[in-house]
Every structure is written in C-alpha cells, then in structure tokens.
Amino acid sequence: MAVYRLNVYGEMCPLPIVRVKIKLKSLARGDFLIVESDHSCTTQALVDVVKKMGHRAEVKTVGNGLWEIHIEKRL
C-alpha cells in the first residue's frame, strides 16, 4: 500500500476529475490518493465520481475552505 497526493488548488471541474481519473489508473489496488482541494463544488463532484467508479472516498476539512479527499483504490 502506498499513499500519493494530488494538489488541485485553484482548478475547476472538469480538470480535477480528469487528473484524478488519470492518477487512479497508475495506482495499485489498496493504494491511497489524497486530493487537496480549495473548491467545495469540486470536492463534492470528485467524491461522487470516485464512488461511482467503485472506490472509497472520504472528505476531511483541513482548514477554512480547504479539503482533502481521501480515496482508496478498490479495483
């Protein structure tokens, strides 16, 4: 199991979703991807997309207007 980080600060959809999908393809099953975001809409959209793809996702507030989406690759 490995942990990776992806910073999408300042990026608007769909770019963060595309970047997360590309990154997930390179990860092994059981790896974690922590996505750092500063847009609430992007954060919720990422969680929805990742869950529909069959992975686990959880949002953590890390500051005022800053979130981390913790994704576990399941497939």
CATH code of the domain made up of 3-72: 3.30.110.40
Coil, strand or helix at 57: strand
User: With bands split at pLDDT 50, 70 and 90, how would you rate the model's confidence at 8?
Assistant: very high
Task: Please tell me the pTM assigned to this model.
Answer: 0.94
Query: Residue ranges per domain, the chain?
Result: 3-72
72 contacts 30 by C-beta, under 8 angstroms: yes
And the tokens for 33? 């991807």
User: With bands split at pLDDT 50, 70 and 90, how would you rate the model's confidence at 74?
Assistant: very high
Q: What pLDDT, on the 0 to 100 scale, is given for residue 13?
A: 87
